[in-house]
């Protein structure tokens, strides 16, 4: 997928002035966080589960080589073909080869963020193969030629009218004038259309929520059942998974599942949790004849070796996004690439470069709500700060910030000079404030446009606390 992360500020500006998007975001905020809270309240051991889940992922990541080898061995023993891919291009080529070998022309797709990462749909289309997204939200945005705006709710930015418009322009077999106001009606139509696609598809592609080393199984979680139809009906199945999805045992996967849906949608479990281990076996009446698993690096081993290793714990639940006030203000598309919210602001610069995505780690107040709700306790604010550190050291921070900060730090390291400068500054501003007789506040200050563009700035009192403390003869030590 092409990135627009470099134009984050413009993207955000457009998002803030998009009335339909703002309406959708308003509704969104009420949903997931409230449901998560209720689910967590119903599970007194939630924090203990989080601790256990974190330990599992830390252990798996610290032994990633061993678990991936074990997974591969068990998967191959069960007839799965495992393909290791270093980058997006390698993964795309491998998918294409499998499609060509199987003669596939229609591909059913389960929602996969890795699929978005490697831009598999655009690639297959260019090769004359038709991918059909089967998750309802993902199908809607595929019709609209948009990327997902949320990792678990791809069409959360849309209103039902926009969905109806997309269906009217693409479902040409249905009467033009049919009623399409109610979500139930739209769902029934999408279900009928997609059912035929499922039956026609020669090949299915899904992502994976986890890989189980103990058994060589792939764990896939959905609410709609589209993932299961995708991995049951077509003759050939491809699973694309990034390296860090592997966990040791079924019990370990189970523990993570206990925090996944609760953190994501506030369900105890998603409706369908499926453990798939290889292709159809002797006597089976259904299931694919071939199963391929692509293990994709695409930047993961680099993160494994640097200060962002803990990000590999992420299980893509979306809780950080659902609780992020920045995301709530601008939605997912403004981030400009596959991911969004706090996890996106950490992942995107790591995966496509800080030069391209430099705004993302800065566009945060570091309020800490993301880390608070993260089931994997990923220190997202610390990582955002580390990305800023990386930028600062690479001298990629804006000059105004750099000079402003150095000037400030220069003074602040010299207490006497600092006190003098502050008292002069405060005295000056205070006098201007009083002269303007505008109620002791500034409605516009030339060097503080960012502030006074939207808020009043109180005029300083005229003397600093330090000056007044000295004048009153207060104790210094």
Partner 1 sequence: MTGIALHSHDMPEHRPTVGLFVTCLVDLMRPAVGFAAVKLLEQAGCDVVVPAAQTCCGQPAYNAGDVADAKALARGVIDAFARIDYVVLPSGSCGGTIKVHYPEMFADEPAWLDRARDLARRTFELTTFLSDVMKTGPIAGRLEAATAYHDSCSGLRELGIREQPRALLSGIQGLELREMDEAEACCGFGGLFCVKYPEISEKMVDVKVDAIAATGADHLIGGDMGCLMNMAGRLQRRGLDVHVRHVAEVLAGTCADAPPIGESETSQAKTKIA
Partner 2 sequence: MSDARETILGSIRRALDRREPADVAAAAVAARLTNPKANVIPERGRSQGTDALERFVFEAERVNATTERVADLASVPERVRAYLQAANLPAVVKVAPDPDLAAIPWDREPLLQIATGKADDHDAVSLTGSFAGVAESGTLVLLSGPESPTTLNFLPDYHVAILFVDRIVGSYEDTWARLRARAGAGVMPRVVNWITGPSRTADIEQTLLLGAHGPRRLHIILVDGASSSAETS
**Contact range with partner 1 by CB under 8 A, out of 61-69, 76-84, 262-270, 420-428:** 420-428
Rounded Cα gap, residues 119 and 56, in angstroms:
30
**Which does residue 341 touch among partner 1, partner 2, none (CB within 5 to 8 A, set by kind)?**
none
**Which does residue 97 touch among partner 2, partner 1, none (CB within 5 to 8 A, set by kind)?**
none
**What's the 3-state SS for 310-341?**
HHHHCCCCCHHHHCCHHHHHHCCHHHCCCCCH
**3-state class of 222 per DSSP?**
strand
Rounded Cα gap, residues 407 and 401, in angstroms:
10
Q: Which residue in 276, 270, 235, 237 sits closest to 256, CA to CA?
A: 270
Q: Closer to partner 1 at the Cβ: 279 or 318? A: 318
Q: Which residue in 439, 349, 431 sits closest to 396, CA to CA?
A: 349
**Which does residue 16 touch among partner 2, partner 1, none (CB within 5 to 8 A, set by kind)?**
partner 1
238 binds partner 2 (CB under 8 A): no
- Of 112, 206, 255, 322, the one binding partner 2 by CB under 8 A: 255
- Of 189, 202, 214, 456, the one binding partner 1 by CB under 8 A: 456
What one-character-per-residue DSSP string does 143-200 give?
A: HTT---SSSS-TTTT--HHHHHHHHHHH-TTS-TT----SHHHHHHHHHHHHHHHHHH
475 binds partner 1 (CB under 8 A): yes
Of residues 120 through 149, those in contact with partner 2 by CB under 8 A are: 134-137, 140
- Of 193, 329, 420, 432, the one binding partner 1 by CB under 8 A: 329
**3-state class of 454 per DSSP?**
coil
**Which does residue 153 touch among partner 2, partner 1, none (CB within 5 to 8 A, set by kind)?**
partner 2
**Which does residue 272 touch among partner 2, partner 1, none (CB within 5 to 8 A, set by kind)?**
partner 2
Q: Which residue in 163, 131, 101, 378 sits closest to 263, CA to CA?
A: 378
**What's the 3-state SS for 399-445?**
HHHHHHHHHHHHHHCCHHHHHHHHHHHHHHHHHHHHHHCCCCEECCC
Of residues 285 through 304, those in contact with partner 2 by CB under 8 A are: 285-287, 295, 297, 301-302, 304
Of residues 148 through 207, those in contact with partner 1 by CB under 8 A are: none
Cα angle 378, 380, 386 (rounded to 5 degrees) comes to 120
Of residues 364 through 393, those in contact with partner 1 by CB under 8 A are: 364-369, 371-372, 382, 385-393
**Which does residue 427 touch among partner 1, partner 2, none (CB within 5 to 8 A, set by kind)?**
none
Contact 84, 211 (CB under 8 A): no
**Contact range with partner 2 by CB under 8 A, out of 168-176, 208-216, 368-376, 377-385:** 208-216
By CB under 8 A, the count of residues binding partner 2 is 103
18 binds partner 1 (CB under 8 A): no
Q: Closer to partner 1 at the Cβ: 225 or 415? A: 415
Q: What are phi and psi of 133, to 5 degrees?
A: -70, 140
Beta strands 81-85 and 457-458, pairing class: unpaired
Contact 101, 292 (CB under 8 A): no
Q: Closer to partner 1 at the Cβ: 145 or 475? A: 475
Q: Closer to partner 2 at the Cβ: 252 or 371? A: 252
**Which does residue 422 touch among partner 2, partner 1, none (CB within 5 to 8 A, set by kind)?**
partner 1
Q: Tell me the closest approach of the beta carbon of residue 403 to partner 1, in angstroms.
A: 11
Give the CA distances from residue 313 to residues 250, 418, 455, in Å, rounded to whole numbers and listed in that order. Answer: 17, 44, 40
Give the CA distances from residue 213 to residues 82, 97, 246, 316, in Å, rounded to whole numbers and listed in that order. Answer: 13, 26, 6, 20
98 binds partner 2 (CB under 8 A): no
**Which does residue 476 touch among partner 2, partner 1, none (CB within 5 to 8 A, set by kind)?**
partner 1
Of residues 205 through 224, those in contact with partner 1 by CB under 8 A are: none
Cα angle 267, 271, 276 (rounded to 5 degrees) comes to 125
248 binds partner 2 (CB under 8 A): yes
Of residues 367 through 406, those in contact with partner 2 by CB under 8 A are: none
Of residues 57 through 96, those in contact with partner 2 by CB under 8 A are: 59, 62-70, 72, 74, 78, 83-86, 90
403 binds partner 1 (CB under 8 A): no
């Amino acid at each position: 997928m092409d990135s627009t992360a470099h134009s984050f500020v413009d993207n955000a500006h457009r998002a803030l002035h998009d009335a339909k998007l703002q309406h959708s975001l308003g509704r969104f905020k009420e949903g997931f966080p409230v449901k998560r809270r209720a689910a967590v309240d119903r599970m007194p051991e939630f924090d203990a589960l989080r601790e256990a889940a974190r330990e599992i992922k830390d252990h798996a990541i610290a032994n990633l080589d061993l678990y991936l080898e074990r997974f591969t061995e068990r998967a191959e023993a069960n007839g799965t073909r495992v393909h290791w891919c270093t980058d997006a291009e390698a993964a795309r080529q491998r998918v294409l080869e499998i499609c060509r070998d199987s003669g596939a022309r229609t591909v059913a797709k389960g929602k996969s963020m890795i699929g978005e990462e490697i831009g598999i749909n655009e690639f297959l289309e260019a090769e004359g193969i038709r991918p059909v997204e089967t998750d309802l939200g993902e199908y809607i945005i595929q019709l609209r030629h948009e990327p997902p705006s949320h990792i678990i709710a791809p069409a959360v930015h849309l209103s039902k009218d926009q969905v109806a418009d997309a269906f009217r322009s693409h479902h040409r077999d249905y009467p033009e004038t049919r009623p399409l106001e109610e979500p139930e009606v739209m769902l029934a139509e999408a279900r009928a259309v997609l059912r035929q696609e499922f039956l026609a598809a020669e090949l299915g592609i899904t992502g994976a929520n986890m890989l189980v080393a103990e058994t060589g199984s792939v764990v896939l979680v959905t609410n709609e059942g589209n993932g299961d139809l995708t991995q049951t009906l077509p003759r050939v199945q491809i699973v694309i998974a990034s390296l860090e999805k592997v966990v040791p045992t079924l019990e370990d996967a189970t523990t993570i599942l206990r925090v996944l849906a609760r953190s994501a949608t506030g369900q105890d479990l998603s409706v369908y949790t499926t453990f798939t281990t290889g292709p159809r076996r002797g006597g089976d009446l259904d299931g694919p004849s071939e199963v391929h698993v692509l293990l994709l690096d695409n930047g993961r081993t680099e993160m494994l070796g640097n200060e962002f290793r803990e990000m590999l714990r992420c299980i893509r639940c979306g809780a950080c996004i659902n609780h992020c006030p920045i995301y709530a203000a601008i939605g997912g598309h403004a981030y400009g690439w596959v991911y969004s919210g706090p996890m996106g602001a950490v992942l995107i610069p790591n995966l496509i470069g800080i030069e391209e995505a430099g705004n993302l780690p800065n566009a945060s107040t570091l309020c800490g709500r993301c880390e608070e709700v993260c089931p994997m306790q990923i220190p997202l604010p610390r990582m955002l700060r580390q990305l800023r550190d990386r930028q600062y050291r690479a001298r990629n921070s804006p000059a105004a910030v750099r000079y402003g900060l150095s000037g400030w730090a220069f003074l602040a390291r010299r207490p006497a000079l600092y006190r003098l400068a502050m008292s002069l500054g405060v005295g000056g501003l205070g006098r201007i404030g009083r002269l303007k007789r505008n109620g002791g506040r500034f409605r516009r200050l030339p060097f503080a446009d960012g502030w006074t563009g939207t808020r009043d700035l109180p005029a300083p009192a005229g003397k600093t606390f330090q000056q007044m403390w000295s004048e009153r003869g207060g104790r210094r030590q």
